[in-house]
């Protein structure tokens, strides 16, 4: 299910496509739910092709990516440079975020990976007080597991939102939802760090 494939279209950005779930509809919601603004320091794990990275960078954040697949890390860095230029504050490290986070005082941690509950403890130590942890998951079972982990941590103010995309047909007096709809693209879960552990 989590097998990813790599595609390079000549003259365009490279993509890493996943058959598990469509993600594009959730990018705007990530900015709102994670309360992203200019100057923030964000750790993103599971960078894929860099599409979400570009959304975060366009909002004015500096982004450090952790990616376990070297090929995907290269693609993401290349895509970001092609789309946004060399001046953006973006770097990707080949790392498994479940093994730990070196940075401290981060403003946000954004995850697109199958087992984000394995990162909650590391996130508590890496985020500043008031920082936000956010993860994207395709299934409610995964979402339930991350919520259970967050409930026994220093995080609070948890929120889970299902991402739906519904387009409309509007033609004169004919106004109705389009016949086809991406009814479900996944779940976003966020939580704010209310108490930090002893460092």
Long-range contacts of 101-104 (CB under 8 A, 24+ apart): 101/43, 101/66, 101/125, 101/126, 103/41, 103/43, 103/64, 104/199
Query: How sure is the predictor about 139, in pLDDT bands with cuts at 50, 70 and 90?
Result: very high
pLDDT for residue 165:
80
pLDDT in tens, 98-125: 999 999 999 999 999 999 999 999 999 9
Decide: 53 and 112 in contact? Cβ < 8 Å.
Answer: no
Among 11-25, 31-45, 80-94, 118-132, where is mean pLDDT lowest? 11-25
pLDDT for residue 162:
93
pTM for this prediction: 0.85
Q: How far apart are CA 179 and CA 195, in angstroms?
A: 47
Q: Residue ranges of the domains in the chain?
A: 4-193
For strands 4-7 and 15-18, give the pairing: antiparallel
pLDDT for residue 13:
62
* Statement: residue 2 has pLDDT above 50: no
* Statement: residue 15 has pLDDT above 80: no
* Statement: residue 4 has pLDDT above 80: no
Query: How sure is the predictor about 198, in pLDDT bands with cuts at 50, 70 and 90?
Result: low
16: part of which helix (H) or strand (E)? strand 15-18
* Statement: residue 174 has pLDDT above 80: yes
- Please say whether the structural domain 4-193 has been given the CATH code 3.40.50.150: yes
pLDDT in tens, 36-84: 999 999 999 999 999 999 999 999 999 999 999 999 999 999 999 999 9
């Amino acid at each position: 299910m989590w097998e990813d494939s790599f595609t390079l279209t000549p003259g365009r950005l490279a993509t890493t496509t996943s058959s598990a779930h469509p993600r594009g509809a959730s990018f705007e919601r990530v900015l709102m739910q994670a309360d992203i603004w200019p100057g923030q320091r964000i750790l993103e794990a599971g960078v894929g092709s860099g599409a979400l990275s570009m959304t975060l960078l366009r909002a004015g954040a500096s982004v450090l990516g952790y990616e376990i697949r070297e090929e995907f890390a290269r693609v993401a860095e290349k895509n970001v440079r092609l789309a946004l230029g060399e001046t953006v504050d973006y770097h990707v490290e080949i790392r498994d975020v479940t093994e730990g986070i070196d940075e401290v005082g981060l403003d946000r941690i954004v995850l697109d990976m199958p087992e984000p509950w394995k990162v909650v403890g590391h996130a508590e130590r890496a985020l500043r007080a008031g920082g936000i942890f956010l993860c994207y998951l395709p299934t409610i079972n995964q979402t339930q597991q991350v919520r259970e982990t967050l409930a026994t941590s220093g995080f609070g103010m948890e929120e889970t939102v299902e991402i739906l995309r519904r387009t409309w047909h509007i033609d004169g007096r004919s106004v109705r939802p389009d016949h086809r709809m991406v009814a479900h693209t996944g779940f976003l879960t966020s939580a704010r760090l209310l108490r930090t552990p002893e460092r």
